[in-house]
Structure 1
Amino acid sequence: MPKGRGRAARTGRARTPPATRHPPSAPPRAVPDTVPDSGRQDPGQVERRDPVAVDPTDSADSGQDAGLGTLDYLAGASLAAAGLLAALGRRRRRQLWHRAFGRRITRPRDDAAQAELALRLGADAPGSRMLDIGLRLLGRSLAAENRVPPTIYAAHLSPQTLDLWIHPPDPDAPAPWTAHDGGQVWRLPAHEGRMIDERALADAPAPYPGLVSLGSNGEGRVLVDLEAAHGPISISGPQATAALAALAVELATNRWSDRMRVTLVGFGEELTVIASDRIRYVGSLAEILPELEAGAGGRGAHGGEVLTGRIHGRAADPVCAPHYLLSAIAPTPEEGRRLALLARKGVRTAAGYVIAGEVPHATWNWTITQEGRAEVDALGFDVAAQLLPRRQYRALIDLFLATERLEGEPLSDEPEPVTDTPSVEVRVLGPAEVVGPPPMEEGRAVIAVEMAVYLATHPGGVHPVVLGGILWPRGVQPVVRDATIARVVAWMGTDSQGRPNLYADESGRLRFGPEVRSDWMLFRDLVRRSHAEPAGRPALLDRALSLVRGPLLNGRPRGRYAWLAADDLEYNVTASVADAAHRLCEVRLARGETDQAVAAVRAGLLLAADDEGLWRDLLRATHLTADPVRLRAVVDALHRRAASHPYGGGMAPETEALIDELLPSWRMRSAPTA
């Protein structure tokens, strides 16, 4: 493949966006069949390091890291953030399998909580979905036409389009893809991607699992296909290890791959906590090279076999199953020669190798500069690199380690004064609503409602400067913050005594007055009263659960309410609602009121739908109605939900065991038919 476009490629000047540039006209160059032994190490090659001494995040980026926070890196890695949130959701769901009554699942703290905030803020779930189902649809369409899929060596994902840079050029792109630039680019518009039926592609294989983000050009994400290099990729520069860590995290969690292996050499042993099914760690290249060589010997002779095998669903074929190697340890001359020989045919295999340092006969050379630029001369790229430096890497690992704590934490129970005659009510147990003030114009209502929600769920008050950082995590001008606060103060109006419903106290903290109430505040008060009043417990718990209208802050706009990640609210609400429903179910069953018990559990599931303890309560209560049709309907609904849950994970073993006990025939009926 020709080198980059002259001086601009070397100096980092602004260049034509990948979405509109003409891609290089030749495929990646192949390594010669015979690779000479380089003998002594090249003086420019990175010195071989002991794997124990290699910190995957200990790059020469400390100066830049000090000036940029967690948000700048993790929120900027939009596709990786989407994959990480999905993986985190699966781990949290398993935590809920073990949640005990009166406890909540463990919340991450400090930097780990900030890491989750950044992930929520930056995750591009729609983009990840479009990349995933767009590629799967492409593979299925090509398979239906018995065509060999083209080599995709790079992609550009923006809010408007997904562009694939292909070789050789082909003007015949299957609909809804369209060909551009003489067939060098295949494009899927975002509106077409949103119309694709995801369920219809549930069994479609992933044809290009090696696509991974290199960085951003300001208009979208630039991805490269590790397999398209047809050989080793050298990665060097002051921030090479931070770039390797980012590559590893995205490969471990992306949704546009199926079965794959990622082997990390000399770094990232901790990443197995994120995706143990995909990632493994070895201490040296010497440990993994024999396996790579044995695997290469059994692969097909031409690259079309890999892609055609995938699109026709032969994922179990070793020719098609991808294996990617990321090494923070530079190879010895002999190891470099062996790596180059893995690609001696110069064709696609289901493998990719990204190696730190100067690698003899590397097909691509990536340079990650001190300023955080990723330069790939062979492809003509110069983009803002996707990086995961030391502090952010550690915070991410701590975030996932918190999900391994299955014992949970005690629920907090701090009494709060509750008014019976509110002039303003802030509702969070379902879609966010503010009842009482007059309607606000739509463009300003979103931030105003979020401010009201935060203040109503933090009755101790908050300083305006702190509130600004919470509601505008990427920063806001003081004049904008103060104008917004003044607008919300006016919107909230006054109470029955003429006092402002929102005011600043003597310490300067913003807080609500005594006639502002939240449904969460009332819920907690009713539950507390139910403890002290056994005779009135059913009525009080019924009233509390009647406040639940759906998931917490359901339908909140994308990118808003990111502060929930570092707050107790989400954890306390979910556990408290589930506990209240469980307690009321037990009271109703003790009185022989099975239908009311079922209704109590269903009220709790409106908000705490992932709490498996509640589902087991529903199974028991429905079983006691002595209506096998109702029980079968609950079992079928639970089975469908587990199979299609966005975070996956199936059902808790205790739930499956209970179904086996109450309805032994369920497995036979739910088993797929031939």
Structure 2
Amino acid sequence: MPADADGGDLVELPHDEAELTPAEAEEISEYGNIPITGPGHDAGPDHGGMDITPDTAAPPPGATPDGDAGALPGGEDRRDGPAADPEHAPDAAPAPDHGGMDVTPGTSGPARDAGPDHGGMDVTPAPVPDPRSGPTPGAVIAAPGHDRAAADADPARHAGPVPTAPATPAPGTDDGPGLPGALVAAPLLAAGLLGALGRTRRNALWQTAAGALRRGAGDDLEPRDGAGRDARDALLAGADPSAVAFLDRALRRLSADLDTAGRSLPVVYAAWLGEEELHLQLAEPAGIPPAPWQLGQSDSYWTLERYRLDAVRDVPADAEAPYPGLVSLGTRDDIRLLLNLEAVPGLVSVLGAPADREAVLSSIAAELATSGWADRMTVSLVGFAADLTALAPTRVRHLEDIAGLLEVMETETRLRHGNLQHTGQDSVLRGRTGPARGHQWAPHLVVVGVTPSAEEADRLGALASVSAPLGIGYLVTSDRPDLPGLAWEFRISADGRLTEPDMGLQLAAQLLPDHERATVVRMFAALGEQDTSEDAVAAPPFLVDLGAGGKPEVYAEIMGGYTLTGLADPDPERAPLLREALAVLLLRRSGVHRRVLAAALWPRGVTDEVRDAFVVRLGEWLGIENATGRPRLSAGADGRLVLSERVVSDWDVLRTLHHGAVAAPGPGPHPADRRRRLTDALSLARGPLLDGQRESGRFEWLRHEVIDAQYPLLVAEVALALSGAHREAGEGEPAYLAVRTALGAAPADERLWNELLRAAHATGRSEWLTGAAQWLTAHHGQLFGVDRPLPAETEALLDELLPTWRQVVAAG
């Protein structure tokens, strides 16, 4: 630990131990072993029954058995640096020990007149430790190969680049419209927001199908304003789903293996996520980790290389998410720091200008709301960002002020403490593995966006000082240093640098500024808004000219496979990428940003030069229109890449026919012409979208689209309209066949099940109705299990059309 470090337990990045002489190591060891005394504080605070302080008799983090600290890989030898001498520590305000509070559940102590309950626990201020006695043993957050002295001299170089909006490209190399830089620079946050946006869009589609929203099944549910389109493109370009999957799978694998071995999860203060590895810094040594995890360069670090995880078996389906409180703070030297807010032994505060503080807190709140490495969790936002509840209404709640929060949290603290005592656990973390897993051990993370008063700060500090074992974490904005109960104090600068001076930490902060947050929230909120305008059912972004003059020059069949007509076969080694790029453009007819195209084709990244050369090659392959000589691939008015109207897919035709025959306002075509269009549309649904293409590991970008949910809904609407038209014309058998065809694309659509029964009844053939009832009950059992009853509406329809259906099914 550096001589100038003081405060609560600190966090250290792997590979950051300095090489010391034996004499220096001994001096540091003695420095850390001075006990802190005080009433009820002989051996450090209890913190709710969990020892959060590393053994003071152990060597300092990173020390080898002989007392020498490990060398710094790739870093400078710092053995000639100043010794960790408390006599030479800089003058500073005394730092609190784990928040400066003596926290002993169930004991008595000085009480204020009519003071707060603090969750039924006696929380009394402890004497402020003497700074000359040294800080509580801990570790320091610093980047791998980080030289503390060099970082202090030039923090900008070591912290890495601060996220900024992309520079204006030079003429001839137009990168398309500028994208919000903060979203592009936050890959885990962007991935979480993108996943949540996809779920919200699919939910809006299902509400549309149920009649709860006045939209059409053909609506892409894309943002309709330029800022929204730029924000969504920034999410698509910046998201790193593979990093989220690696983090989630690695942590769940660890949880499952420790559970199998009968071991508890170790307390983790921080994680450092790189391109190919994940480092967990433990609060104290916890033995040898289960494979494929390995010890890091000291016994306080567990490290996992990505290729080792890829080589092991799949993660059990019931594996717990062990550290849902991990959240990104920023980056240093291309490695991302995630603080485990749930495990912090006290308050975490953020100082700086109000707008900058709120940008930090908004980023943290949004990532917690949408993170992919968490299961159950509650996130409480206090006094700011009420709009962020739209991101995850079941996970995020908003409170107006700290007074309301204190009332809630003092009660919850008492209840959680009692629950731990009842189950015999010393912390929520211990209960996530082993026989207590059946209990609710979900964390509650509190982000306070208003500055607390002195009294509120005292009460918050008292609660935070006992929160770590209870699975509760507190992050507070502040305009004053040294809040009561403080564990870590960060400062955000106007240029986007996040620092913690006591730890020598310099980060390029992850931010979500107010205007970008508002744009993201509008995207979510708009999906649930009821459009009352007459043209609420929007037309698809591209409608095919179905007349003789609109015959396509390039035709792609993507429903049931992927075949192309009208294009020369590209070179075999380039064909997969070119065909996938064309699929991206076909499914985003409103235009594709170059950076979005690159993210889809090269999820692990690619240079601008390679991307631009590929776009040129793609344009050459697509060629020019025969009639006009215009290129079939061009940049639209907003700079996004768009296809010519002469390049058409069967999906485009299906949507055009659906819109004209089902969704378009007005009287519509003649009944006979309508039935013909609906029949043509249904004939296009030959099988799953891009069948046989996804098994190669490509087309992963489809997870961010709604087409997999939209396709069966569109087919179902076509079949329902066609079947209804046939039944009105007294044509039962064509109606029945139309529904059976659609069930191939939409097998779980209850509307088709009911229409199948009506169509079978309309044939007048009892064996068709009996066969439909038998097939439907068997099909339902295959999808949902034989013990789950049929939907109530389906059962009622069977009772009406075939009163003996239960006997028929039982006999069949």
Q: TM-score range by the shorter chain?
A: 0.7 to 0.9
Q: Determine the C-alpha separation between the residues in 1 that align with 2:205 and 2:497.
A: 41
Q: How does 1:367-386 map to 2 (within 5 A)?
A: 367-377=491-501, 380-386=504-510
- The alpha-carbon deviation at position 267 of structure 1 amounts to 0.4
Residues 304 and 563 of structure 1, relative CA distance in 2, 3 Å threshold:
closer
Q: Determine the C-alpha separation between the residues in 2 that align with 1:288 and 1:131.
A: 31
Q: Which amino acid aligns with 1:416?
A: D
Q: How does 1:603-618 map to 2 (within 5 A)?
A: 603-605=744-746, 613=751, 617=755
Match of 2:796 among 640, 653, 661: 661
Conservation of the 8 A alpha-carbon contact between 1:177 and 1:186: yes
- The alpha-carbon deviation at position 637 of structure 1 amounts to 4.9
Ranked by relative contact order (alpha carbons within 8 Å, sequence separation 6 or more), the top structure is 1
Conservation of the 8 A alpha-carbon contact between 1:232 and 1:352: yes
- The alpha-carbon deviation at position 324 of structure 1 amounts to 1.5
Larger mean Cα displacement after TM superposition, 242-251 or 70-79: 70-79
What residue is the counterpart of 1:416 in the other structure? 545
- The alpha-carbon deviation at position 480 of structure 1 amounts to 7.2
Conservation of the 8 A alpha-carbon contact between 2:346 and 2:466: no
- The alpha-carbon deviation at position 307 of structure 1 amounts to 1.5
SS of the residue corresponding to residue 382 of structure 1 reads: strand
Q: Which amino acid aligns with 1:30?
A: H
Q: Which amino acid aligns with 2:792?
A: A
- The alpha-carbon deviation at position 281 of structure 1 amounts to 1.6
Match of 1:487 among 609, 617, 629: 617
C-alpha distance after superposition, 1:194-249 (max 9, x if no partner)? 566667323x3332221111123353432111122211111112322111011111
What residue is the counterpart of 1:184 in the other structure? 300
Match of 2:650 among 511, 519, 532: 519
Q: Which amino acid aligns with 2:428?
A: V
Q: How does 1:461-476 map to 2 (within 5 A)?
A: 471=597
Residues 192 and 620 of structure 1, relative CA distance in 2, 3 Å threshold:
farther
User: What is the TM-score with the length of structure 1 in the denominator?
Assistant: 0.74
- The alpha-carbon deviation at position 166 of structure 1 amounts to 1.5
Q: How does 1:643-658 map to 2 (within 5 A)?
A: 656-658=791-793
What residue is the counterpart of 1:599 in the other structure? 740
SS of the residue corresponding to residue 350 of structure 2 reads: strand
SS of the residue corresponding to residue 280 of structure 1 reads: strand
SS of the residue corresponding to residue 469 of structure 2 reads: coil
Q: Which amino acid aligns with 2:724?
A: E
Conservation of the 8 A alpha-carbon contact between 1:489 and 1:500: no
Match of 1:295 among 412, 424, 433: 412
What residue is the counterpart of 2:721 in the other structure? 583
Q: Determine the C-alpha separation between the residues in 2 that align with 1:225 and 1:98.
A: 37
User: What is the TM-score with the length of structure 2 in the denominator?
Assistant: 0.63
Q: Which amino acid aligns with 1:135?
A: L
Match of 2:570 among 425, 433, 440: 440
Larger mean Cα displacement after TM superposition, 248-257 or 532-541: 532-541
Residues 210 and 564 of structure 1, relative CA distance in 2, 3 Å threshold:
closer
Residues 621 and 518 of structure 1, relative CA distance in 2, 3 Å threshold:
same
Gaps of 5+ in 1: 7-16, 39-62, 644-650, 665-674
What residue is the counterpart of 1:247 in the other structure? 364
What residue is the counterpart of 2:138 in the other structure? none
Larger mean Cα displacement after TM superposition, 472-481 or 114-123: 472-481
SS of the residue corresponding to residue 348 of structure 1 reads: helix
- The alpha-carbon deviation at position 496 of structure 1 amounts to 7.8
What residue is the counterpart of 2:764 in the other structure? none
SS of the residue corresponding to residue 235 of structure 2 reads: helix
Q: Determine the C-alpha separation between the residues in 2 that align with 1:340 and 1:268.
A: 22
Q: Determine the C-alpha separation between the residues in 2 that align with 1:504 and 1:21.
A: 50
SS of the residue corresponding to residue 200 of structure 1 reads: coil
- The alpha-carbon deviation at position 407 of structure 1 amounts to 5.4
What residue is the counterpart of 1:46 in the other structure? none
- The alpha-carbon deviation at position 386 of structure 1 amounts to 1.5
Conservation of the 8 A alpha-carbon contact between 2:682 and 2:742: no
Q: Which amino acid aligns with 2:545?
A: E
What residue is the counterpart of 2:521 in the other structure? 397
What residue is the counterpart of 1:324 in the other structure? 445
What residue is the counterpart of 2:431 in the other structure? 309
Match of 1:360 among 484, 488, 511: 484
Q: Which amino acid aligns with 2:737?
A: Q
Residues 196 and 639 of structure 1, relative CA distance in 2, 3 Å threshold:
farther
Residues 3 and 637 of structure 1, relative CA distance in 2, 3 Å threshold:
farther
Conservation of the 8 A alpha-carbon contact between 2:236 and 2:596: no
Residues 441 and 535 of structure 1, relative CA distance in 2, 3 Å threshold:
same
Match of 2:246 among 117, 125, 130: 130
Q: Determine the C-alpha separation between the residues in 2 that align with 1:303 and 1:347.
A: 13
Q: Which amino acid aligns with 1:268?
A: A
Q: Which amino acid aligns with 2:746?
A: L
Q: Determine the C-alpha separation between the residues in 2 that align with 1:274 and 1:173.
A: 36
What residue is the counterpart of 2:199 in the other structure? 90
The answer to whether structure 1 residue 35 and structure 2 residue 125 are counterparts is yes
- The alpha-carbon deviation at position 21 of structure 1 amounts to 4.0
Q: How does 1:266-277 map to 2 (within 5 A)?
A: 266-277=383-394
Conservation of the 8 A alpha-carbon contact between 2:368 and 2:379: yes
SS of the residue corresponding to residue 98 of structure 1 reads: helix
Conservation of the 8 A alpha-carbon contact between 1:502 and 1:510: no
- The alpha-carbon deviation at position 274 of structure 1 amounts to 2.1
The two structures, once aligned, show a CA RMSD in angstroms of: 4.9
Gaps of 5+ in 2: 6-11, 19-53, 55-59, 63-95, 103-123, 129-161, 168-177, 663-667, 762-767, 800-812
What residue is the counterpart of 2:454 in the other structure? 333
SS of the residue corresponding to residue 475 of structure 2 reads: strand
Conservation of the 8 A alpha-carbon contact between 1:619 and 1:635: no
SS of the residue corresponding to residue 119 of structure 1 reads: helix
Conservation of the 8 A alpha-carbon contact between 1:337 and 1:360: yes
Q: Determine the C-alpha separation between the residues in 1 that align with 2:206 and 2:13.
A: 45
C-alpha distance after superposition, 1:273-325 (max 9, x if no partner)? 2222222222222222233233334525898432221223646757x342221
What residue is the counterpart of 1:425 in the other structure? 555
Larger mean Cα displacement after TM superposition, 627-636 or 226-235: 627-636
C-alpha distance after superposition, 1:459-491 (max 9, x if no partner)? 99x8xxx97577469999998787556534542
- The alpha-carbon deviation at position 123 of structure 1 amounts to 2.7
Conservation of the 8 A alpha-carbon contact between 2:98 and 2:485: no
Larger mean Cα displacement after TM superposition, 204-213 or 486-495: 486-495
- The alpha-carbon deviation at position 398 of structure 1 amounts to 0.6
Q: Which amino acid aligns with 1:86?
A: G
Residues 182 and 259 of structure 1, relative CA distance in 2, 3 Å threshold:
same
Conservation of the 8 A alpha-carbon contact between 1:601 and 1:617: no
Q: Determine the C-alpha separation between the residues in 2 that align with 1:241 and 1:524.
A: 43
What residue is the counterpart of 1:112 in the other structure? 228
Q: Determine the C-alpha separation between the residues in 2 that align with 1:458 and 1:144.
A: 46
Q: Determine the C-alpha separation between the residues in 1 that align with 2:297 and 2:428.
A: 26
Conservation of the 8 A alpha-carbon contact between 2:754 and 2:797: no
Match of 2:348 among 212, 219, 233: 233
Q: Determine the C-alpha separation between the residues in 2 that align with 1:601 and 1:147.
A: 51
Q: Determine the C-alpha separation between the residues in 2 that align with 1:176 and 1:403.
A: 42
Q: Determine the C-alpha separation between the residues in 1 that align with 2:661 and 2:399.
A: 57
Larger mean Cα displacement after TM superposition, 89-98 or 99-108: 99-108
C-alpha distance after superposition, 1:563-589 (max 9, x if no partner)? 979xxx999877654432332343466
Match of 2:681 among 518, 533, 544: 544
Q: Which amino acid aligns with 1:412?
A: A
What residue is the counterpart of 1:284 in the other structure? 401
Q: Determine the C-alpha separation between the residues in 2 that align with 1:35 and 1:551.
A: 64
Residues 215 and 538 of structure 1, relative CA distance in 2, 3 Å threshold:
same
What residue is the counterpart of 2:770 in the other structure? 626
What residue is the counterpart of 2:190 in the other structure? 81
Match of 1:139 among 251, 255, 258: 255
Residues 391 and 533 of structure 1, relative CA distance in 2, 3 Å threshold:
same
Conservation of the 8 A alpha-carbon contact between 2:327 and 2:339: yes
Q: Which amino acid aligns with 2:554?
A: V
